[in-house]
Amino acid sequence: MNHKKFCFILCVNQERYRKECLYYLDHLRIPEGYEIDVLTIEGAESITSGYNAGMQASDAKYKIYLHQDVFIVNRDFLSDILNVFQDPSIGMLGMVGAPKLPDHAVMWYGERVGRLYANAVVQSGVSIMGEARLCDVEAIDGLLMATQYDVPWRSDLFTRWDFYDVSQSFEFWRRGYRVVVPAMERPWCIHDDGFLNLCNYYDERKKFLAEYRPGDSKAEAQEHET
């Protein structure tokens, strides 16, 4: 394990997004004595299988899993996450998270914290959620997930492109690691996600509830499924 190395891991299927994402990564300030690497995974069967492949291929202690349409505009991003990870109890951080995940597990229907420049059909502009302080959360959004410990992604359960992020958050908590959203006065990144494809979202949600909340009622499992 290389304790002086960062690795960015992203699954890609659009060259335009890949180039823009890498443009922003190329302009990050690298802390003295550290190095960075970028792994792009093409043709992944699922995001969990792609991220597992990237995790196993890298010896970096600090791994940043991000969507191809995420552009990091905070040039001191690497130093900032190092500061957060000085606390060994913190295993993973994200830009947006849910302090308490709703019973139905749909993150955006509950309270969220974080900072984000968003560009989507449902919302565009600066999204400010909660206070600008470090906050422990049950789950973070998968747009960007930075870790200092390797925890396998549940490719045995989540075989598509949804609920991998909430699952991974719970896997970190199961191992005794905290999951946090850091203090940000301004957003650290842009998420240019456009249209949301939810065709498999609720099927994957059922898997999540069965694995992590088996006591939930059938009515809860069906809530918001429209």
Least confident among 60-74, 98-112, 136-150, 190-204: 190-204
Torsion sign, CA atoms 94, 150, 179, 156: positive
Instruction: Of 202, 201, 184, give the one whose Cα is nearest residue 83.
Output: 184
Q: Is there a contact between 37 and 58 (Cβ–Cβ < 8 Å)?
A: yes
Estimate to the nearest angstrom the gap between the alpha carbon of 8 and the chain centroid. Answer: 12
- What is the distance between the alpha carbons of residues 165 and 156, in angstroms, rounded to a whole number? 14
Domains of the chain, earliest start first: 2-222 (3.90.550.10)
State residue 121's pLDDT score: 47
Tokens standing for residue 53:
């492949």
Average pLDDT, integer, range 61-74: 97
Question: By percentage, how much of the chain surpasses pLDDT 70?
Answer: 89
Mean pLDDT of the chain: 90
